[in-house]
Amino acid sequence: MTNSPASHAAQALVETKVSEFRKKLRPWLKPKIIMGGSLVFLLVFMGVLAPVLSPFDPNLQNLSNTLKAPQWWGGDHFLGTDHVGRDILSRIFYGARISLVIAGTVVVISGVIGVGLGAISGYFAGRTDFFIQKLVEVVWAFPPLLLAIAVLAFFGQGLWILIAALVAQRWIPYCRVSRGQALSLRTRDFVDAARSLGARDTRIIIKHILPNLMQAAMVIGTFAMATAIISEASLSFLGLGVPPEIPTWGSMLADGRAYISTSWWLALFPGLCIFFTVLGINLLGDGMRDIFDPRLKRSGSGVG
């Protein structure tokens, strides 16, 4: 019994769709994207489910259990306790949540500010571009960590103050890249066509310029998450991050500094969390850069 022409056509259509799907999926199956995505997923998993995964309250002190070594599967405290008896594993889970909230919020706010200013600067050019780029140069002159320390020293500690301190300079990479692309897009035929049809500048920027800037912004955002996590850990290590009652990986490193020679687990585990989180985000960002902008691919075999 032979198949009808309609069934052959349907089968060919399905095979074509499957082939197109595999072609689109193939770039996302590189080792560095899989490794980086897995590590980032683990961070999100730890942060979102911290109340469920944590065996203890992260701030619960028990002075009778101070500086307990990791007990692994043979005791209540899998990764041990700190100098006031708080469970290390629970604090790591909640520290992942804080790192995720801070990094995500910093990336979103920085992206909105930077992409918006970059699109305006590149589209209007002229004096608008001049003043915005002068603002970029002034802010860019300050070292990022020093600027964040100055903001925190002036306004005090707090989660949103810390986020504002990290945003203070992280919008600049978005702005510079978006400006360069907007300068090119403003002369394209589709922008001229929209302008000739009577579209206002605001509509052109929102409908035609900004959508073409999103891919570059996503790549910048992944690397910005890594730097935000490192900066938050650095500021918390210096005692300038979030309030002490909020567990973070940086504050855990600071607490373990005085016991590094006797209680190695206090600094080792949060340090490893920071290392693998930043590594995963950088691998994911590098892979996304190769997909969204093949011109930036590096020569050689590399990881991916």
Q: What is the pLDDT of residues 173-217, one digit of tens each?
A: 999 999 999 988 888 888 888 888 888 888 999 888 998 888 888
Q: How far apart are CA 175 and CA 160, in angstroms?
A: 22
What's the chain's average pLDDT? 84
Judged by average pLDDT, the poorest of 91-100, 196-205, 267-276, 281-290 is: 281-290
All structural domains of the chain: 33-56+68-296 (1.10.3720.10)
Average the pLDDT over 65-81 and give the result. 85
pLDDT band for 72, please (50, 70, 90 cuts).
confident
Candidate from 134-148, 170-184, 222-236, 285-299 with smallest mean pLDDT: 285-299
Q: Distance (Å, rounded) from C-alpha 283 to C-alpha 156?
A: 34
Could you count the other beta carbons within 10 Å of the beta carbon of residue 21?
A: 10
Could you tell me how many residues make up the chain? Answer: 304
Q: Is the pLDDT of residue 18 over 60?
A: yes
163-176 residues labelled b (16+ CB within 10 A) or e (exposed):
bbbbbbbbbbbbbb
Q: How many helices (H) and strands (E) does the chain have?
A: 13, 0
The whole-number average pLDDT for the span 114-132 is 91
pLDDT band for position 293 (50/70/90)?
low
Taking residues 20-39, report their average pLDDT.
78
Q: What is d(CA 5, CA 123) in angstroms, rounded to the nearest whole number?
A: 53
Integer angstrom CA distances of residue 252 from 73, 266, 269: 22, 7, 9
Confidence at 92, pLDDT banded by 50, 70, 90: very high
Taking the model in full, what pTM does it have?
Answer: 0.81
Residue indicated by tokens 């009808």: 4
Phi, psi of 87 (to 5 degrees): -75, 125
For residue range 247-261, list pLDDT tens digits in order.
Answer: 888 888 888 888 888
